Chain A
Amino acid sequence: MTMSRLVFDAAAAMAILFAALMVVHPHPVKSVLAVVVSFFGLAVCYVMLSAPFIAAIQVIVYAGAILVLFLFVLMLLNVGQEAPERDPRPIQRWLSAAALVVFAALLLALLRAHGGSAPAALDPVSADVAPLARLLFSRYLLPFEALSILLLAALVGAFVLAQREKSS
């Protein structure tokens, strides 16, 4: 058990734990806050997998912008606690049980196939951000620019959708 594996496992366990807390907690604001903590744990995982730039993006964009947007919408709509379950909805229960079974099967297949062999190294050379930027602005320049148009379209779309309708 190396040091980096220990840190990764602890951060991953934190992410999983708080994601589970999000699912079981009936209050939506606390759900969002649990996901914020979970995403911080994921950012630590990304650092351990020598992707510090993605970790920074995760904290700034995901935890800092997207989830704060969620909180703002919750505040605007004033959504309270989910009412306790009245209809049993057995289909969803069965489907999530089936998801757990599929996960267990995947886990078994994984343990048989890998046996914990393939190493993901954490070293300062591969964690360097400059080659990533070079790749992003040369080979992936076209998708990068297309992304700016997508973000503009999302901005306009969100504005139009959330706009108050004119009473005509």
Chain B
Amino acid sequence: MIGSIPLGDVLLASGALFTIGLAGALLRRSAISIFLSIEVMMNAANLALIGYGAALGTREGQIIVFFIIAIAAAEASVGLAIFVALFRHKETIDVNKINLLKW
């Protein structure tokens, strides 16, 4: 036993990362930057899961994070493919200029 980490520290870091990701998703205009902010939010959730798993002495938290990372990989590949297709159509990935579904 080297020492222990209070759960409050973990949740604090997780909350701060999530807030930063949320602010980034709201404030940025490049679609890729928004996607990146969403990845940061997902990692904040991962950190909270690992922290609770360690505090409760169970491995289920790590299993869930393993699945989340795999799904994030799938999601990133499809999302980036959508951006490539979008760029081919509109020559931009600025979300203010993409208004196909807006009336």
Interface residues of A (CB under 8 A from B): 2-5, 8-9, 12-13, 15-16, 19-20, 22-23, 28, 31-32, 35, 38-39, 42, 45-46, 48-51, 53-54, 57-58, 61-62, 65-66, 69-70, 73-74, 76-77, 79, 82, 87, 92-93, 95-96, 99-100, 102-103, 106-107, 110-111, 114-123, 126, 131-132, 135-136, 140, 143, 147, 150-151, 153-155, 157-159, 161-162, 164-165
Contact = CB atoms under 8 A, between A and B. Distances in A.
Given A16-B17, A82-B30, A114-B8, 9 more contacts: A39-B43, A45-B10, A53-B66, A61-B73, A62-B43, A74-B32, A118-B8, A123-B2, A132-B63
A77 B84 CA distance: 7
B43 A42 contact: yes
13 contacts: A5-B9, A23-B23, A28-B33, A32-B36, A66-B72, A73-B80, A103-B15, A106-B15, A116-B6, A118-B55, A119-B7, A122-B5, A151-B73
Contacts of B36: 22, 31-32, 35, 70
Nearest to A164: B88
Contacts of B7: 114, 116-120
A61 B23 contact: no
Given A66-B73, A154-B75, A154-B78, A4 B3 contact: yes
Interface in B60-103: 61-63, 65-67, 69-78, 80-85, 87-88, 93-94, 96
A5 B3 contact: yes
Given A54-B65, A92-B26, A49 B12 contact: no
A57 B73 CA distance: 11
Interface size class of B (residues with CB under 8 A): 35 or more
Given A35-B40, A131-B59, A161-B82, A103 B19 contact: yes
A129 B75 CA distance: 26
A96 B12 contact: no
Given A12-B13, A57-B69, A70-B36, A118 B6 contact: yes
Interface of B: 1-13, 15-24, 26-30, 32-33, 35-37, 39-40, 43, 46-47, 50-51, 53-55, 57, 59, 61-63, 65-67, 69-78, 80-85, 87-88, 93-94, 96
